[in-house]
Homo-oligomer: A and B are copies of this chain.
């Protein structure tokens, strides 16, 4: 019994060892450079042993993506309770997105890889379910803030727009901008000098467009974001480098 559980623990922890070895390779050298043979060599285990843990390479990426999505959700939750007032809470979540995409770029990158259908399709139904639940819970956090805003009379949703559809707009805006920043070789060359500030401004304007109260000046919004950014990152600081 003692030995069995020791062995089992050994196996358990090997799983996370695989993941923590795979992540830096995946992020710094890309999906192509992550080879099972290389991983096995570095682990000092045979390749077959890796396949006891993950049925294929894609599953490793999916597992990493789940870790990343989990982290994003934690940052959302932390951000959403750092300040008072629905509009500022929403702003804080927007800030969390920025922090996540820039300070935890390796996690953001792994999330994106999963959006390649090749990887998604080859990953197990079990992990697909988990990933969808992660997404759902992220959405839930933000939609919760929106519902609070409505309940407090600080925001009135247009007819035919659900809270989730409302969130979808902000999601698209920040998400799209981060993808573009990460993959568009040279935004400055097309005239976008400060993309992050621009998107913050657009988000702020969109909130104005919806009449989200109490209204805040953009300068104040920026100040709040500057102040919150380190707090959002804090608890993750040890597991999130670069």
Contacts and interface: CB of A to CB of B under 8 A. Distances in A.
Interface string A112-144: 000111101000000010001001100100010
Contacts of A194: 165
B189 A168 contact: no
Interface string A93-127: 00000000000000000000001111010000000
Given A176-B177, A206-B209, A190 B164 contact: yes
A202 interface: yes
Nearest to A173: B173
Interface string A188-207: 01111111011101100111
Q: Tell me how many chains of this kind the complex includes.
A: 2
Contact of A115 (B120, B143, B183, B201): B183
Contact of A132 (B128, B186, B198, B202): B186
A150 B198 CA distance: 18
Nearest to A206: B206
Interface stretch (A10-18, A68-76, A155-163): A155-163
A84 interface: no
A interface bracket (residues with beta carbon within 8 Å of B):
35 or more
A15 B98 CA distance: 43
A46 interface: no
23 contacts: A30-B118, A115-B183, A120-B185, A128-B185, A136-B190, A139-B190, A160-B197, A162-B191, A162-B192, A163-B191, A164-B190, A165-B191, A166-B198, A168-B195, A169-B173, A169-B198, A171-B180, A172-B174, A172-B199, A172-B202, A173-B176, A174-B176, A175-B180
Given A128-B185, A174-B176, A207-B209, 18 more contacts: A115-B183, A120-B183, A132-B189, A135-B184, A135-B190, A158-B201, A164-B190, A164-B191, A165-B194, A165-B198, A168-B180, A169-B199, A169-B201, A172-B199, A172-B202, A173-B173, A173-B202, A208-B209
